[in-house]
Amino acid sequence: MKRFVRKHFPVGVQSWLRRAYYRYPLLRRLYYLPQDAAQRLRRRGGSITPPRSLISVGDGDFAAIGGEFLGYFKDLAGLQPDEKVLEIGCGVGRMAIPLTTYLSDQGEYVGFDIVRPEIRWCQKRITPRFPNFHFHYIDIHNEQTNRRGRQQAGSCRFPFTDGRFDFVFLTSVFTHMLLEDIGNYLLEISRVLKPNGRMLATCFLLDPPARERLKKMNSRFRHVHGDSLAIDPRLPEASIAHEEAAIRNLFKKSGLAIQDPVRYGNWNGRENFLSSQDIIVARKNESE
């Protein structure tokens, strides 16, 4: 469906459809009604799977991608079962669901997002079975997913005490945020991490070779937004790639030391890659 829209509809219509997806959740539920009903009939007692109408992360394999990232949390960031974990932009639990099989009763997971129905689903379906998994809705503005959000991403403060978490992660979230907003999020992440705590974030990172490959591929990342490249000129938060040097600078300013190498993804046609997006792991400086 997405591919069909990209091929046959002008950019302006695509932009409108993107906004409408979040603006009219009822339409989305109607559209996916048959699929959701079939899933409900098929569902066996044990599995936790959200309805298709609440999945806003595309048509990729929801469970497989969650499992892939659980591997990265363990292997790249050294996540331990008894640690305290914060997920920013948790959506409908793609990462939280596999984490329920890994974190122990001593461990804790907190996830927040700015889209209320997704958080409600997680609160209703995950927390009762895993009481150490908590989900919060926070009313932060994002032009695509929460355009009426009252707090600004560039100045908000996360509702968590300093040094509360061992590990913070964001998957496919900085890819929907403007650079100045990412700067504030990194400062907040550093504040809520314990000294020496780790974080993992996925991004779309630009450097001259990546820009060159994007041009050759005739990529959708072609709309200039400051030093960044967006797929939608009217809605940069739809998907946005930032200069790697600028992102590195923001990490440094926040007291977060990037643990090189960055694991680059294949989103810009790179031949050697780990995943689809670029993956950054960082450690909070002990002195911060």
Longest C-alpha distance within the chain, in Å? 54
Binding part of the chain for ligand SAM, among 34-42, 84-92, 215-223, 265-273 by CB under 6 A, reads 84-92
Binding part of the chain for ligand SAM, among 46-54, 71-79, 109-117, 121-129 by CB under 6 A, reads 109-117
Angle made by CA atoms 183, 205, 185, in degrees to the nearest 5: 20
- Residue in 140, 193, 199, 201 binding ligand SAM, rule: CB under 6 A: 140
What is the nearest approach in angstroms of ligand SAM to the Cβ of residue 89? 3
Determine, following the binding rule CB under 6 A, whether residue 77 of this chain makes contact with ligand SAM: no
Q: In what order do the strands lie in the sheet with 228-230?
A: 205-206, 240-243, 228-230, 223-225
Determine, following the binding rule CB under 6 A, whether residue 115 of this chain makes contact with ligand SAM: yes
Between 6 and 215, CB nearer to ligand SAM: 6
Determine, following the binding rule CB under 6 A, whether residue 153 of this chain makes contact with ligand SAM: yes
Asked if residues 236 and 177 have their Cβ atoms less than 8 Å apart, the reply is no
Site size with ligand SAM, rule: CB under 6 A? 20
Determine, following the binding rule CB under 6 A, whether residue 254 of this chain makes contact with ligand SAM: no
Q: Please state whether 218 falls in left (phi above 0), alpha (psi between -120 and 50) or beta.
A: left
Q: How far is Cα 209 from Cα 136, in angstroms, rounded to an integer?
A: 39
Give the HSE-up count for residue 127: Cα atoms under 13 Å, Cβ half-sphere.
12
With b meaning 16 or more CB within 10 Å and e meaning fewer, what string describes 181-207? bbbbbbebbbbbbbeebbbbbbbbbbe
- Residue in 86, 103, 110, 173 binding ligand SAM, rule: CB under 6 A: 173
> Which positions from 218 to 237 touch ligand SAM by CB under 6 A, shown as an x/- string?
--------------------
- Residue in 177, 189, 240, 282 binding ligand SAM, rule: CB under 6 A: 177
Q: How far is CA 223 from CA 11, 84, 125, 236, in A?
A: 11, 39, 39, 8
Interface residues toward ligand SAM, by CB under 6 A: 56-57, 88-91, 94-95, 113-115, 140, 142, 145, 153, 171-173, 176-177
